[in-house]
Amino acid sequence: MNFSFDDSYSAFVAWVKTLLPIIALGLLSTIFLFSGKVDVTQSLPYAEHNVANIIREQRITRPYFAGVSNNGTEITLSAAYASPDPENNDKLNITELSIVLQSALMRTTQITAGLGALDSATQIALVSRGVHILAMPDFWITTDALTVDLKQGVAIAEGGFQGVTALGTINSEKMVLQMTADDQQIVFTNGVRLIYNPKPN
């Protein structure tokens, strides 16, 4: 291989361009020559352990259910995870769930909670841990536990809760939220107390 250049700098650059790829190939070959052998069997116990956990837990990621109640309310239920109850084949344990009830005239109630248990036989969901209900404009409710009848489109809170409305705060021992064919009704009973907070003019 012969090169002719006008100056020594150009000759140096040309040799570097030629030698660098050869050196790189040599370095790559040493990686394969001196690298240690990988024992693939070492990872098998961990793989078997993970598979066993998946089979045992039978957890579903991001489940989504949709249906219609007896009065025509559209119902959707989604969650972060769901897994069958080991003691009841009809029950599904769900975490970080969201239930949306929507009437024919687009009246919407959204329920969110940290935990829940859905009974597929009765179509009743028991939700707990930070239950939050957004029922209508400027109206929301927080409670510790809620029973949602998906077949009837009814949500019942017992044992005390707090609600915030456009008029003020409301407390009672029991609340029943009923989705009707074209709207939603909320009934408070047992020790109802409303604290009126008028809006400034």
Q: What is the CATH number of the domain that holds 154?
A: 2.60.450.10
Domain membership flag for residue 84: yes
Residue 86 confidence (pLDDT): 85
User: What's the length of the chain?
Assistant: 201
* 168-195 per-position pLDDT tens digit: 888 888 999 988 877 788 888 888 888 8
Residue 156 confidence (pLDDT): 93
Average pLDDT over residues 80-93: 90
Domain membership flag for residue 150: yes
- Per-residue burial over 89-100, b if 16 or more Cβ lie within 10 Å, else e, is eebbbbebbbbb
Provide the mean pLDDT of the chain.
79
Domain membership flag for residue 10: no
Residue 46 confidence (pLDDT): 45
- Residue 151, domain extent: 60-196
Average pLDDT over residues 155-163: 84
Please state the φ and ψ torsions of residue 21, each to the nearest 5 degrees.
-60, -35
In this model, does residue 23 exceed pLDDT 50?
Answer: yes
Domain membership flag for residue 159: yes
Contact 150, 123 (CB under 8 A): yes
Residue 41 confidence (pLDDT): 46
Total structural domains in the chain? 1
Domain membership flag for residue 52: no
What kind and span of H or E run contains 20? helix 8-34
> From the CB of residue 178, how many other CB atoms can be counted at a distance below 10 Å?
19
* 27-48 per-position pLDDT tens digit: 666 655 554 554 544 544 544 5
In this model, does residue 26 exceed pLDDT 90?
Answer: no
Domain membership flag for residue 70: yes
Q: Which one of 65-74, 101-110, 121-130, 161-170 scores highest in mean pLDDT?
A: 121-130
In this model, does residue 4 exceed pLDDT 50?
Answer: no
Domain membership flag for residue 121: yes
Domain membership flag for residue 144: yes
